[in-house]
Amino acid sequence: MSNENSQTGKVGGSKLKYVLLTLALIELAVGLSNARANVFFYLGLPLGTVLLGLYLIIQSFEKESARFDEQNRAAVLALPTGATPRQPKPVQAGGTTRSSSHHGSF
């Protein structure tokens, strides 16, 4: 069941990646064209570069997230049967604790 979910999530991410790439290329082509009959054509170049940047970010993190998922799966499979993963201890706000009897100024 978890294998099906991971494949489904991968397909959705892949589809988003290619939609961003397609939109970025279209917007860059519109922005670089000389047909600037409408004011919105001037938005093509900046919008295309932003979309291309998002595509490149997703592309660069794709392998890293797959490696991280694989390491987590291996760690969970290595746990003894019936064992639960360790939960991190909660961190107090401020980083350090002070005695409640200390009410003076710094």
Residue 19: its pLDDT value, please? 93
Residue 39: its pLDDT value, please? 77
* pLDDT tens figures, 32-89: 887 767 777 888 889 999 999 999 999 888 888 888 889 888 888 887 776 666 777 7
Residue found by looking up tokens 């980083």 in the block:
95
Residue 55: its pLDDT value, please? 92
Cα separations in angstroms, 48 against 8, 43, 59: 28, 8, 16
Residue 24: its pLDDT value, please? 93
Residue 49: its pLDDT value, please? 92
Task: Identify the three-state secondary structure at position 39.
Answer: helix
Q: Are 31 and 50 in contact (CB under 8 A)?
A: no
Residue 6: its pLDDT value, please? 47
Helix (H) or strand (E) holding 65: helix 44-78
* pLDDT tens figures, 6-17: 444 455 667 888
b/e string for 13-48 if b means 16 or more Cβ within 10 A?
A: eeeebeebbebbeebbebbeeeeeeeeeeeebbebb
Task: Identify the three-state secondary structure at position 13.
Answer: helix
